[in-house]
């Protein structure tokens, strides 16, 4: 508890852990706030991370906390620059665990070219939180050639997903429930700036992007359909799902359309330039499995329709209940 007191033990911890891991000139000032020189249109986004377990195949809460907020910035067309870091730690959490999480945050931040410039550290009594919660809030400069907005979506636009879906949610589920599926499913948790920023910087063909995290691809497409007041028609056979994920979903009776992703994006792009965008995506290692999965329609306004493998059509609604809590 004393590490969260604001007193000398907290100062020692901040110097030995936080400053050592995340050192940069702005953070090192240890002011009440970081002073930044910003210009232009700035994107500002926040996310709290409460994932359980803290470590899972393919990632951990630290990597997730960086990639999640970085990706939200990228989705708005911004190049991520700065993150704040708010840690809430349960009394008694082992120091090596905290250190491992901080190492993961530092590495992920480096890979995403963002700096952690300000932070906060709280300790709560045993039982008052589950090990550690992390808030990251991000700032980035908007660099997309056009304004990315669901309102610019039109009939004929194509829907692209940047890779295979449903890995993150299943990886967390399997780990939490100790399911030995023998399927080796790893979270897809990764930052998407490297894949997407070069495309939206050069091309005005991408109209809208969103990362299908909580609620999965199905919910994200519903958000796009509602906000644009257009219909979205997708083809089941075109949606990339790995054979392992397919097997796990069949086994567990889960629809992969509602399983969270943490390293994928849905893009709505101009019909004529779809081929060019897809080619660019496929050249990047995080976009090799990118696919066109559907198109925008003036029918079914505000709704998402799936053409199934067996030739039928069905509505894809938003996730309504809770498939698996605390996946991010």
Query: Interface with a copy of itself includes 319 (CB under 8 A)?
Result: yes
When the beta carbons of 94 and 322 are compared against a copy of itself, the nearer one is 322
236: Cβ–Cβ under 8 A, 6 or more apart, which residues? 306, 307, 308, 309
**Of these, 20, 92, 128, 251, which contacts a copy of itself (CB under 8 A)?**
128
Q: Scanning the structure block, which residue is given the tokens 């567990």?
A: 252
Tell me how far, at minimum, the Cβ of 310 lies from a copy of itself, in Å. 26
Query: Interface with a copy of itself includes 45 (CB under 8 A)?
Result: yes
Q: Identify residues 199-258 at the interface with a copy of itself (CB under 8 A).
A: 210-211, 213-216, 219, 223, 227, 258
Q: What's the order of all strands across the beta sheet hosting 132-142?
A: 115-124, 78-90, 132-142
The answer to whether the beta carbons of residues 216 and 170 sit under 8 Å apart is no
When the beta carbons of 10 and 247 are compared against a copy of itself, the nearer one is 10
**Of these, 75, 197, 245, 277, which contacts a copy of itself (CB under 8 A)?**
75
Query: Interface with a copy of itself includes 6 (CB under 8 A)?
Result: yes
Cis (ω within 30 of 0) for the bond into 96? no
When the beta carbons of 123 and 183 are compared against a copy of itself, the nearer one is 123
The two structure tokens encoding residue 167: 């890995």
Cβ count within 10 A of residue 111:
16
Which segment (57-65, 99-107, 139-147, 199-207) binds a copy of itself by CB under 8 A? 139-147
Burial of 186 (0-12, 13-18, 19+ CB in 10 A): middle
When the beta carbons of 99 and 130 are compared against a copy of itself, the nearer one is 130
Query: Interface with a copy of itself includes 88 (CB under 8 A)?
Result: yes
Tell me how far, at minimum, the Cβ of 184 lies from a copy of itself, in Å. 26
Query: Interface with a copy of itself includes 30 (CB under 8 A)?
Result: yes
How is residue 300 annotated by DSSP?
S
The two structure tokens encoding residue 28: 């090192």
């Amino acid at each position: 508890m004393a590490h969260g007191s604001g007193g000398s033990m907290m100062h020692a911890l901040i110097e030995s852990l936080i400053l050592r891991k995340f050192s940069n000139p702005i953070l090192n000032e240890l002011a009440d706030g970081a002073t930044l020189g910003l210009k232009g249109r700035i994107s500002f986004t926040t996310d709290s991370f409460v994932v359980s377990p803290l470590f899972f195949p393919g990632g951990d809460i630290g990597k997730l906390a960086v990639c999640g907020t970085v990706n939200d910035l990228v989705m708005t067309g911004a190049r991520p620059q700065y993150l704040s870091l708010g840690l809430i730690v349960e009394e008694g959490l082992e120091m090596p665990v905290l250190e491992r999480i901080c190492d993961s945050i530092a590495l992920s931040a480096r890979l995403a070219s963002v700096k952690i410039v300000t932070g906060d550290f709280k300790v709560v009594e045993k039982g008052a939180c589950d090990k550690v919660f992390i808030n990251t809030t991000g700032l980035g400069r908007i660099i997309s050639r056009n304004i990315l907005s669901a309102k610019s979506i039109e009939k004929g636009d194509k829907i692209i997903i940047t890779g295979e879906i449903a890995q993150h949610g299943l990886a967390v589920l399997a780990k939490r429930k100790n399911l030995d599926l023998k399927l080796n499913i790893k979270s897809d948790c990764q930052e998407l700036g490297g894949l997407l920023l070069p495309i939206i910087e050069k091309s005005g063909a991408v109209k809208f992007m969103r990362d299908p995290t909580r609620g999965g691809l199905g919910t994200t497409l519903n958000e796009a359909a509602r906000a644009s007041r257009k219909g979205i028609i997708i083809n089941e056979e075109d949606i990339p799902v790995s054979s392992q994920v397919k097997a796990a979903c069949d086994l567990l009776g889960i629809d992969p359309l509602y399983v969270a992703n943490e390293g994928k994006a849905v893009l709505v792009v101009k019909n004529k330039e779809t081929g060019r965008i897809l080619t660019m995506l496929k050249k990047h290692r995080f976009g090799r499995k990118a696919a066109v999965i559907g198109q925008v329609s003036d029918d079914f306004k505000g709704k998402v329709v799936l053409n199934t493998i067996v030739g039928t059509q069905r509505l894809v609604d938003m996730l309504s209940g809770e498939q698996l809590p605390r996946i991010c």
